[in-house]
Structures are given as structure tokens and as C-alpha cells.
Amino acid sequence: MNRRKFLRNTAALGALGAIEYAPWQAVGAFARELDDFVRGPAVKDHPLRQISKHVWMIYSPDGFPTPENQGMMCNITFVDTAKGLVVVDSGASVQIGEMAIRQIRKQFKKPVVAIINTHYHGDHWLGNDAFAAAYKDIPIYAHAGTIKEIQGMQGNMWRTLMEQWTNQATLGTRVVAPTTAVDHDQELKFGDVTLRLHHYGTAHTPYDICVEVLEDKLTCVGDVAMDRRIANMDDGSYLGTLKAYAALEKNAAAKIWLPGHGQPGAAVLQWNRELFEGIYYPCEKAIKEGLPLEEAKALVLRDPRVASRAKDTKGFETNIGKYVSLAYLEAEAAGF
């Protein structure tokens, strides 16, 4: 048993004795107070970096959550406007959100005025807790489907998963769901900066929002595309993602694509498009020829679009089997 588990159990036993004859509502109140007391450690500072005239980011070098990185696996983006700072994805814990607030306060003498969560995977929104505590009544924008998912099963599931993956380093994080629904082609104006929102159906999830910073010709794509990492496709669609890339390139006048994971750049969508084509289309070919999953995987691994990216793609060896399986199932469903 580690120290935090010991503290939680010890405190719980003592408190149960103290409220033996108290109303049962006291148990719920105590649990909330205990969550305030038992918290994971602070996250070390990660530098703030300017990407364009109005856009800054805290880059996360890791692709997956571990006890060592304390869940720091997702880029946190800030848009500097005349009205204040807008956060695009707040990180994977209250501790990460607090670290981000420390960093922006060193650079800016202005408040955070809004948050946009690109989708419902917890590494992109669990940091809402810190910002909501620091900036009262802050609006948090997301697709209506994302809000529903976080208010439902996804919220507590992701909080629990992040605690497990980090050996409880994220303890103390509360589920703070987005408050305001947005959808495709909506514009949010913050003084001198306009943010245009893009949603093209199921891509990484059914409810991905990409955020175009019009004045900077930069688009935050969340996890619709990644740099040197394969996007988790458990909730998504390969064909839907390829469709989203084409729509983004047509409708967003972006010269820089800023992903939720990895480095921003002009070639982020192209890198992902070729990789996804190299995974999906061999699976489609295997389905048409009646080949089993294992032979489809062999076709994928031989595809030059995949083979050329295997070495420098984070988590490739441990995840490629699952990604092929998902592509095979999608191609099979599309064939009927």
C-alpha cells in the first residue's frame, strides 16, 4: 500500500468512527473533504512556447501517461487575445492545470477567459478543474456530445483511469465538465482574435472540435491528427478521419496544424493521412479478397506508408495490432 492509500484509509476509519451516529449525508460530505486532503504531488514546470502571433503552447514530450510523467501527455494551447487568454485543452489533471496556470502567469498579466475542450478523452479536459477554481464562472466550450459524455460515464471513467495509469499522481482531480455547447462553423470572437470551430462527424471521436485561429492561419486539431503517434481509434473512424482531413484542408486556411500530441507544423495532416491510408486500405483489400485478420496485418506492416513511420511513431509496436484490428472491422462493416 502506498502512502496516499494509507492516508486515505486511515483518515476514513477515523472519520467513520466520528460520524457513527451522524446522518448518512455526513459520509458524502466527508468524502468530498477527503478528496481535498488527499492529492497527488505537484507537476514540474514545463516551458511556455510561442507558436504564432497569438498562439502559445506547453508542449508535452510524452505520448502516454505514466507514473513518471504524472499524466503530462497532452499539449496545452493558449490563444492570447485582447479579452484575455483562451485555453484549448487543459491537460490531464488538476495538478497539470495548476502548472499551466503558473506558467501563463509568468508571461501574461491577463486572465483566462474561456476554455475549449476538443473532445471527451480525459487527457484533454481533466485540467478544467484547476482553471475553474482559479477563474470563477469561466465558460468551457465543447461539442454537445462531448458535454454529455463527460457528464455521463466518460467523466469518472477517465478520472479513474488517469489515477491508475499514473500510480495515483492525479489524485484530487474533480470532474469539471464543459458548460457551453458549440458546433461546426460557429465563431467565437475575443476582441482582436476570432476562433472558428470545425466539426466533420466521427473522426477521432464522434464529437471532435478543431479550433481555427483565423488571424494566425493556425488550427488546433486536438486528436484528429497527431505527430509521431497513432491516434486512438477505439471511438473513431478511419474513413471519417480521412474525410475530416480533406474538409479541414478545404475550409481552414491553416499553414500550421497544432495537434494534441506532438509538434505543430505544416505537414501534420499529411503525415497522418498517409499513415491511416496505409493501415485502412490494406485491410479493405484483405476483406475484399477474403483474407483473415493476420494476413491483413501482414499487408499493413509491408505497406511503405506504415513501414516508413514505424520506427519514429510512439507506441507503434504495442498498438499497431489493435489499430489494424479496428481498421479491419471498419472495412468489414463498410463492405456490407
Asked whether residue 134 is assigned to any structural domain, the reply reads yes
> Strand, helix or coil at 79?
strand
Domain identity same for 215 and 162: yes
Structure confidence at residue 263 (pLDDT): 97
Asked whether residue 192 is assigned to any structural domain, the reply reads yes
> 253 vs 3, which has greater pLDDT?
253
Last-in-domain residue among 245, 266, 287: 266
- String of DSSP letters for 197-234: EE--SSSSSTT--EEEEGGGTEEEEETSS-SSBPPP-T
Residue pLDDT, tens place only, 161-178: 999 999 999 999 999 999
From CA 94, how far away is CA 129, in angstroms rounded? 5
Is-contact 72 46, C-beta < 8 A? yes
Which pLDDT band holds residue 34 (cuts at 50, 70, 90)?
A: low
Domain identity same for 299 and 218: no
Domain identity same for 122 and 255: yes
Residue pLDDT, tens place only, 202-245: 999 999 999 999 999 999 999 999 999 887 899 999 999 999 99
Domain identity same for 121 and 209: yes
Asked whether residue 260 is assigned to any structural domain, the reply reads yes
Structure confidence at residue 222 (pLDDT): 98
Is-contact 324 293, C-beta < 8 A? yes
The overall average pLDDT reported for the chain is 91
Domain identity same for 173 and 304: no
E strand intervals along the chain = 48-50, 55-58, 76-81, 84-88, 112-116, 140-143, 180-182, 187-190, 193-198, 210-213, 218-222, 256-259
Last-in-domain residue among 247, 266, 285: 266
Domain identity same for 131 and 237: yes
Split into its structural domains, the chain has a count of: 3
Domain identity same for 168 and 207: yes
Domain identity same for 328 and 287: yes
Domain identity same for 58 and 206: yes
Domain identity same for 28 and 55: no
Q: What is the CATH number of the domain that holds 204?
A: 3.60.15.10
Last-in-domain residue among 228, 247, 266: 266
Domain identity same for 136 and 260: yes
Asked whether residue 42 is assigned to any structural domain, the reply reads no
Show contacts of 109-113: CB within 8 Å, 24+ apart: 110/80, 110/84, 110/85, 111/84, 111/85, 111/135, 112/84, 112/85, 112/86, 112/87, 112/138, 113/81, 113/83, 113/84, 113/85, 113/86, 113/138, 113/139, 113/190
Range of the domain at 31: 3-37
Structure confidence at residue 38 (pLDDT): 85
From CA 209, how far away is CA 189, in angstroms rounded? 16
Structure confidence at residue 269 (pLDDT): 97
Asked whether residue 61 is assigned to any structural domain, the reply reads yes
Domain identity same for 259 and 283: no
Asked whether residue 43 is assigned to any structural domain, the reply reads no
Asked whether residue 22 is assigned to any structural domain, the reply reads yes
